[in-house]
Structure 1
Amino acid sequence: MNFWNRGLRSWIFLITVLLVVGSCSGQQEYEQLSDQEKRSAEHALAGLETREGLETTLFAAEDMLVNPTNMDIDGRGRVWVTEGYNYRSSLNPDNPTRPEGDRIVILEDTNGDSRADTSKVFYQGNDINAALGIMVLDDRVIVSRSPHVFVFYDTDGDDRADKKEIMFSGIEGEQHDHGMHAFVFGPDGKLYFNFGNEGKVLKDPEGDVITDEFGNQVRADGNPYWQGMVFRSDRDGSNVEVLAHNFRNNYEVAVDSYGTLWQSDNDDDGNKGVRINYVMEYGNYGYTDELTGAGWRTRRTGMAEDIPTRHWYQNDPGSIPNLLQTGAGSPTGIVVYEGGLLPEVFHNEMIHADAGPNVIRSYPVEKEGAGYSASIENILKGNNDQWFRPSDVTVAPDGSIFVADWYDPGVGGHQMGDQQRGRIFRIAPEGSNYEVPDFDLSTPQGAVEALKNPNMNLRARAWLQLHELGKKAEPALVDLWESENDRYRARALWLLSKLEGNGVDYIEQALADTNPDIRITGLRAARQLDIDIIPYIEKLVEDPAPEVRREAAIALHRNSSPQAAELWAQLALQHNGSDRWYLEALGIGAYGQWDRFFEAWLEEVGSEWNTPAGRDIVWRSRADAAVPKLAQIIQDSSIDVEEKSRYFRAFHFHDSSDKEEELIGVLEGYLPEQEQLNLMALKELDPSALERSSVVQRALNEALASAKGTHEYLDLVEKFELQNQNDELLSLMQSYPDSSLGIRASQLSLDVGGREFIQRVLDGNEEEEKKKVITVLGNTSTPQSIEMLEFYFLDENNELEMRREAVKAVGASWGGEQRLVELVNGGIIPESLHEAAAEGLADSWRGDIRQLAKKLRGEGQGEEIDLPPVSDLVSREGNQERGKEIFEQSCQICHQVNGQGTEFGPALSEIGDKLPKEGLYDAILKPNNGISFGYEGYILSLEDGTEVAGIIQSETETEIVLLTPGGYTTTYAKSEISSREQMGQSLMPENLHVGMSQQELVDLVEYLSTLK
């Protein structure tokens, strides 16, 4: 997701804003507006659709603020906003910047008309350019802007920062949307926050990497944490805990009164995999392989067919299930609404901003076993106005919600398309004025009343005051603890549990409560005290509510007491075999102690372990004793082979010395599906087993014969480095010269000594087979394949037409075109091959090489096509069917729509939902301004002096998988890479539209706008 800067607009536009009513009449009115009128604050509501029974009003707009990236609302009802006017200025050099830096502004309604009438600048500076988070807490303001988290202080109460400190430093991803996000105040008095997968490391103010409570460095290097993370800390930033990890871009975290955490997470663009998560403490959320960090596209046993499941490694033991998949999007701010002003369907539910589909929506949650299920309820939608880009949602003291809208034609890739606007909306029941309640926080009773408020700032201020009062606040808190509202009771419990001397008394009461959520809160509160947690787990180990037992299992995480294993075994005995949430909680509880815990379970369950529930626990276990059980399950003829694949995948997570012996035992079997079992077993074996075991040798030969012509066959050739398969590899090269199957066969053949087999074809007389081999060698683009083609086309004894084909093939890749340019400039390419060289280089990503191609053809540089302003193009009507034809000719080589095309750039199946026509034109005409995260180009320099370029699809400790134009992947060992450099430009050519008429460009955009 992105942030764009805004220019100034007159506040006079707000005078008539409340006159725009009704979704039907609003739509008619909106369609009659000019483009300039549509974008004005005067008509800001005309393009929006609000849920029936609610009303959206405009609280503030340009010129009071521009480009709101995040916001908070204080107890006085004032809206604090971080701006992003200077967002990514280095990538948007044509946009103006503020030399003084971006601002934090305070918006306030001083005259009671529900609209802001003052805008104060709390702080301005280049150190907060495009800050992505703000939390107001008394005289402190916590601002997140990678690489820092700042704490600003207003010590004299004049609404201006006069002191600044650093809370955290070293966070990577400066001005990156996947860096550090907003902080929130938890019901336990702690801070909760997160960063996306560009954050990578958390350091203290002195620049030292922080170590968490378990002695792990807070670093996304797989030891043990990956990618995006969720944190908890004390209010001063000390005692950092990593609560969960392996997210892509978990934009904000929301915490409810029970201490339950909720998040959204963005997928790799174009994959319809945006998700909502219940954050289970210490959970792995599966963006990359838990052990290796490999990307989600990496081939593996048990790989899911559907992309969202595959995307989040949901089939792996150890990956926490997703609560809800919401399709395509660019999710941003999220909050739990614990107020009463909005309709009941939203009470105690998440409310979320998703800038991609232009929507504010809620996800009503239902308990489901030890976890949850959820649905979607829209609140505010930019049905007519796709410039509506909500970046945050916050609850006000009166129970209304406020929405920040940075308002822009595009989203994603760090670009900004608008430089004039930014809005804050208020959503409340129709006719509800913005009236901020007043509390006397100096008394325990007044502070308790404020603790009930749905606004987080008021609750935080009340919490701090009550905590400071200590025993003096106890009677008022007890009254709240004994109320009928369980969320109020939970808030009281967190404070009562921290009372010196008798806090545990209230925990005892909570653990015996009739409400499972209160029992959960009691256990969570107990875990934050310096006490033995085991007696409290004992009270809950047979709790009738699975969600309570889930928390008991999590509470055993890294607990080394002698009773822990027995308690875990009792919890495991209650797994029903169909509750993945419960199973993963058991996995979290057993982390680091699997052998001890699993043994205790086996002693309890005895010979009755082989049930659906027992097999689940074996699948999830990392104990050495689980390995023979996995083999036993696989050899059970009553279990379907599809189900068995999950147990083979479980072997991936074991390093037991018995693993190889058990897999060889599987190879010795004679089940009806033995060929499939052998293939899966061989993939999990160490390659050295081939030399030691005749059983492995026999099974491998049989598997090779049955898997010919598939990627599974190539997996075996690669794994065992087979040098006796070159005939079959050559056959695959000739059968699939333009697909990943043939290219991978070519790479393997060259790696395992198959060069002479390929050379025979090049030296032969079969023209069609020769042409296929030339094509696949060009697509392969390794130093060996380029060398073979170069040798071929420079040999004048070869047929001229085939030599020309070889020249064109060399120019089909980055490394090949680089070599071809060297040969041309060195005068080595004969004139008879110049036309072929020009053809091979004509579509290069690099402009200087395209000019060389023109020179070889004797052409001039050519004139830049003069296009009218985008505003004029948007007003033109296009032909959708013709646009589809143009897409298939010009775009499908890199993009997919509904499964058709090449998987290189982001899929565009729903691009019309994400971008209005203005944004589509900008993406085509200025691709360098909008590179989607995860699709940046890299140049890898190899030790042999060659270069390759593409998108890094996956990276582990030992290798990089590079995706190249055409959708082909090549794996490079890191030992053969001397350096890598990120490209400064998009891999999408800047001149994609060159060669199109203006009408053809309009037709293309017309087609793209229909993809929803």
Structure 2
Amino acid sequence: DKNSDIRITGLRAARRYKQDVIPYVSQLVKDPSPQVRRECAIALHHNKSPEASALWVTLADQYDGKDRWYLEALGIGMDEQEQKFLTAWLKQAGDHWNTPVGRDLIWRSKIPLAVPYLVKIIEDPKTDLDTLPRYFRALDFIPGTEKNRAVAELALMKEPQNKKRETYIIAEAISRMPANTVMQDAKYKQALTQVIDSSRGTSEFIKLVQKFKASDYYPELVEIASRAGKSQTSVDAIRAALSLKQNTLIRKSLENKADTEKEQNQKLDLIWALGSAGHNSANGILLKLITDQDEPLVDRREAVRAIAKSRSGAHALLDLAEKKDFDPQLQQTVAAAMSSTIMKDVKERSARLYPAPPTKDNKPLPPINVLASIKGDKLDGRVMFNTKGTCAKCHVVNGMGKEVGPNLSEIGKKLSREALFESILFPSAGISHNFESYTVILASGNVVNGLLVNKTDDAITIRDAEAISRTFKMEDVDEIIQQKISLMPADLQKVLTQEELVNIVEYLTTLKQAEPIKKASR
């Protein structure tokens, strides 16, 4: 039939009614339609005919190296006959097997016969670094001693002209070897030390240090967790340190005083990684940090957010809240974290302690994760931002508004929808750096509240809620107190309906690029 769909249907019908499909496949094996040829490959599934392997080879020769469904059909066709079919193809290919098509067929076969070919592909300098994981994963599916010997061979590979490739290959190979084999053989032990030293700061480094319990490098795991930012690498590093029972090392790192903004951010990233690691032993470290009144408030707030990510951690946090053995300065942070949780049991328990804040119409708001899923009206949100929401009284957007709080001209690319709702509903849950509120008590008895603009040995400048900056001589100041709550009101939602609140956040998400400020013409 001229219609390829009819030809496919006919082939499927032959299989369905258990007819001998070989004559049909022989007739269609060079069909111009790749869809028909894919169906032919599938029709050879578990077919024991002597002609099956030759037909499969003919179909494989027409694979273009791009059609992943064609490759999958070839894989289905050779199931349980991989040795027979691949041997036939390799015999025909001869020395010309190492092509994109040949590599795909060998990768897909996952049999011991493929092992020496996979090794040659991995060792081939022309094999791109970013494709190597694919071939190592293929080795993982192949059982037997031949695979183990191949991995051991790769662990000693040398490629001086491309040290990055060499390091990756040795790391991947040696990580697949039994630890006792490596540690009892001088040449493998030397290769391990070499690759650990060469891969510092990478995922390979973390994997090797953890597997081989390379204790000399344990401090570097904690260092990576604090210096890799909020990333998969930092989470993997701290999870490895926790698995290796390096809690004391982690606590020591957290106890170090952060003297610079960079060090403070690294400390916060380490706390974040602890919460993201999904390791139960992180809870004890985080709880100690949360309950230690001598620790900086910013660290304790981050620890609250971190521990609330796990079910056991969230319940431990709620245990403290129920016992009222809790610093009031952390209440908003806990409430925000609980509002964002998706764990039903945690949500139900926290609702009794931290009921949702009411809106203008006195209706409780849904949890933050639910609010974040609601689509708003950005145009109405812009109006609300500048009117009922009173946001412009303290925030600048593209040159408009008062500069009391952070400039929001690019807030849409800095915070997620969830984080935007949290910042509005629980402003003291996480106060932005340089926007902490201060109280200045003057010798005259007057008290001034606001943001710290500047402080020297001679004077201090405070900007109040009206964006007015005032400077006082230090000789006129009795006391300076850093406040633990945000200058931003904690009940803004009371002047808005839920819809208006959602619209404001929708507007904020659009603020991704600051617009040039146009000077007024005279």
**Category of TM-score, reference length = shorter chain:** 0.5 to 0.7
**Counterpart residue number, 1:648:** 136
The separation in 1 between residues aligned to 2:50 and 2:318, in whole angstroms, is: 70
State the alpha-carbon separation in 2 of the partners of residues 655 and 591 from structure 1: 16
SS at match of 2:295: helix
Aligned residue number for residue 776 of structure 1: 270
CA displacement at 1:618 relative to structure 2: 1.3
Looking at structure 2, the residues matched to 661 and 834 of structure 1 have their Cα atoms a distance apart, in angstroms, of 59
1:865 aligns with: 360
Return the alpha-carbon distance in structure 1 between the equivalents of residues 63 and 110 of structure 2.
17
Matched, 1:692 2:181: yes
Partner of 2:471 in structure 1? none
Is the alpha carbon distance of 1:552 and 1:701 closer, same or farther for their aligned partners in structure 2, counting shifts above 3 Å? same
The answer for the alignment partner of 2:304 in structure 1 is 811
Is the CA contact (8 Å cut-off) linking 1:844 and 1:850 kept in structure 2? no
| 1:787 pairs with 2:284 | yes
Secondary structure (helix, strand or coil) at the match of 1:537 reads helix
The answer to whether the 8 A contact 1:730-1:758 is kept is yes
Alignment match of 1:701 (pick from 180, 193, 215)? 193
Distance change in 2, residues 1:904/1:807 (3 Å): closer
User: Residues 438-517 of structure 1: matches in 2 within 5 Å?
Assistant: 513=1, 516-517=4-5
Distance change >3 Å, CA 691–CA 994, structure 1 → 2: farther
TM-superposed CA distance for 1:634, in Å, is 1.8
Name the SS for the 1:554 alignment partner.
Answer: helix
Q: Aligned residue for 2:168? A: 679
Q: Within 1, Cα distance between the matches of 2:17 and 2:73? A: 21
1:723·1:753 contact (CA, 8 Å) conserved in 2? Answer: no
One-letter identity of the residue aligned with 2:245: G
Change (3 A) 1:805 1:519: closer
Counterpart contact for 2:152–2:173, Cα < 8 Å: no
Give the 5 Å matches for 1:822-861: 822-826=319-323, 829=325, 834-845=327-338, 849=350, 852=353
Confirm or deny: 8 A CA contact 1:631 1:666 kept in the other structure. Answer: yes
Contact map agreement 1:733 1:773 (CA 8 A) in 2: no
The structural deviation recorded for 1:555 is: 0.7
Structure 1 residue identity aligned to 2:242: L
Of 41, 50, 58, 1:553 maps to 41
The answer to whether the Cα contact below 8 Å between 2:258 and 2:267 also exists between their aligned partners in 1 is no
Partner of 1:616 in structure 2? 104
SS in 2 for 1:600: helix
**Alpha-carbon distance in structure 2 between the residues aligned to 1:522 and 1:548:** 10
Q: CA deviation at 1:556?
A: 0.2
In structure 1, the residue matched to 2:380 is: 877
In the TM superposition, 1:41-440 aligns within 5 A as: none
Distance (Å, rounded) in 2 between the aligned partners of 1:875 and 1:735? 37
SS across alignment from 1:788? helix
Q: Is the 8 A contact 2:42 2:76 kept in 1?
A: yes
Residues 737, 554 of structure 1: CA spacing in aligned structure 2 closer, same or farther, 3 A cutoff? closer
* AA aligned opposite 1:692: T
Report whether the alignment pairs 1:732 with 2:224. yes
Q: Deviations over 1:8-52 (max 9, x none)?
A: xxxxxxxxxxxxxxxxxxxxxxxxxxxxxxxxxxxxxxxxxxxxx
Give the share of equivalent positions with the same residue, in percent: 29
Task: Tell me if the contact between 1:542 and 1:571 (Cα under 8 Å) persists in the aligned partners.
Answer: yes
How much has 1:752 moved relative to structure 2? 0.8
Determine the structure 2 residue equivalent to 1:759. 251
- Calculate the TM-score normalised by the size of structure 1: 0.34
Number of the residue aligned with 1:357: none
1:742 aligns with 2:234: yes
Secondary structure at the residue paired with 2:222?
helix
| Counterpart-to-counterpart distance in 1, 2:506 and 2:100 | 52
Alpha-carbon contact 2:110-2:139 (below 8 Å) kept: no
Answer yes or no: is the 8 Å Cα contact 2:41–2:56 preserved in 1: yes
Give the letter for the 1:549 counterpart: R
Q: Secondary structure at the match of 1:654?
A: coil
Work out whether residues 46 and 78 of structure 2, in 8 Å CA contact, stay in contact via their aligned partners in 1.
yes
In structure 1, C-alpha distance between the alignment counterparts of 2:62 and 2:90, rounded to whole Å? 14
Provide the C-alpha distance between the structure 1 equivalents of 2:6 and 2:334, rounded to a whole number of angstroms: 68
- CA distance in structure 1 between the partners assigned to 2:205 and 2:332 by the alignment: 35
Please, which of 106, 114, 121 is the counterpart of residue 626 of structure 1?
Answer: 114
| Inter-CA distance 767–742: structure 2 relative to 1 (3 Å threshold) | farther
Task: Report how far residue 1002 of structure 1 moved.
Answer: 3.1
The 1:840–1:532 alpha-carbon spacing in structure 2 relative to 1, beyond 3 Å, is same
**Which residue of 180, 192, 205 maps to 1:713?**
205
Aligned to 1:636: 124
Distance of aligned partners of 1:710 and 1:670 in 2 relative to their CA distance in 1, 3 Å threshold: closer
Instruction: Give the Å deviation of 1:587.
Output: 1.3
Q: Deviations over 1:271-319 (max 9, x none)?
A: xxxxxxxxxxxxxxxxxxxxxxxxxxxxxxxxxxxxxxxxxxxxxxxxx
| 1:880–1:730 Cα change, 3 Å | farther
Which one of the candidate residues 69, 73, 85 is aligned to 1:585?
73
**1:529 pairs with 7, 12, 17, which one?**
17
Provide the rounded CA distance (Å) in 1 between the counterparts of 2:508 and 2:272.
33
Q: Say whether the 8 Å CA contact 1:778–1:785 is kept in structure 2.
A: no
Which residue identity is paired with 2:222?
Answer: L
Distance 1:779 1:642, change over 3 A: closer
2 CA distance for matches of 1:688 and 1:903?
Answer: 45
> 1:813-859 CA distances to partner (integer Å, 9 max, x unpaired)?
324443233235446x4xxx6233424423132576477579xxxxx
How far apart are the structure 2 equivalents of 1:597 and 1:655? 19
CA deviation map 1:134-181 (0-9, x unaligned): xxxxxxxxxxxxxxxxxxxxxxxxxxxxxxxxxxxxxxxxxxxxxxxx
**What is the alpha-carbon distance in structure 2 between the residues aligned to residue 862 and residue 585 of structure 1?**
56
Distance apart, 1:688 and its partner CA: 4.3
Cα separation, 2, equivalents of 1:748 and 1:904 = 29
Map 1:890-929 onto structure 2 (within 5 A).
901=415
Taking a change above 3 Å as real, the CA distance of residues 772 and 582 of structure 1, as seen in their structure-2 partners, is closer
Mapped partners of 1:824, 1:877: distance in 2: 38
Distance 1:902 1:709 in 2: 28
**Residue identity opposite 2:39 in structure 1:** E
CA distance in 2, matches of 1:666, 1:903: 47
> Is 1:601 the counterpart of 2:93 in the alignment?
no
Length, aligned pairs only: 394
Corresponding letter in the other structure for 2:73: A
- 1:629 CA displacement: 0.4
Q: Secondary structure at the match of 1:802?
A: coil
- For residue 708 of structure 1, report the CA deviation from its aligned partner: 2.7
Match in the other structure for 2:50? 562
Partner amino acid, structure 2, of 1:1004: V
CA distance in 2, matches of 1:863, 1:530: 68
Displacement after TM superposition at 1:530 (Å): 3.1
Is the contact between residue 779 and residue 809 of structure 1 (CA under 8 Å) also seen in structure 2?
no
Q: 1:529 to 1:728 in 2, by over 3 A?
A: same
Distance 1:705 1:996, change over 3 A: farther
Question: Which residue type is aligned with residue 540 of structure 1?
Answer: L
* Runs (5+) with no aligned partner, structure 2: 340-346, 364-375, 398-404, 426-489, 513-522
Q: For the residues of structure 2 that align with 1:902 and 1:718, how far apart are their CA atoms?
A: 34
Q: How far apart, CA to CA, are the structure 2 residues paired with 1:684 and 1:904? A: 42
Instruction: Please give the secondary structure, in 2, of the residue aligned with 1:878.
Output: helix
1:632 Cα deviation from its structure 2 partner: 0.7
Shift of 1:668: 2.6
Following TM superposition, by how much is the alpha carbon of 1:579 offset from its aligned partner in structure 2, in angstroms? 4.2
Which residue does the alignment assign to 2:149? 661
Instruction: For residue 533 of structure 1, report the CA deviation from its aligned partner.
Output: 1.7
Which residue of the partner structure matches residue 505 of structure 2? 1004
Distance 1:582 1:876, change over 3 A: closer
Q: Hey, which of these two has a bigger chunk of strand by percent?
A: 1
Confirm or deny: 8 A CA contact 1:553 1:586 kept in the other structure. Answer: yes
**Root mean square deviation, CA, Å:** 4.6
- Look up the equivalent residue of 2:361 and give its one-letter code: D
Given residue 55 of structure 2, which amino acid in structure 1 is its aligned partner? L
Tell me how far 1:631 sits from its aligned partner: 0.9
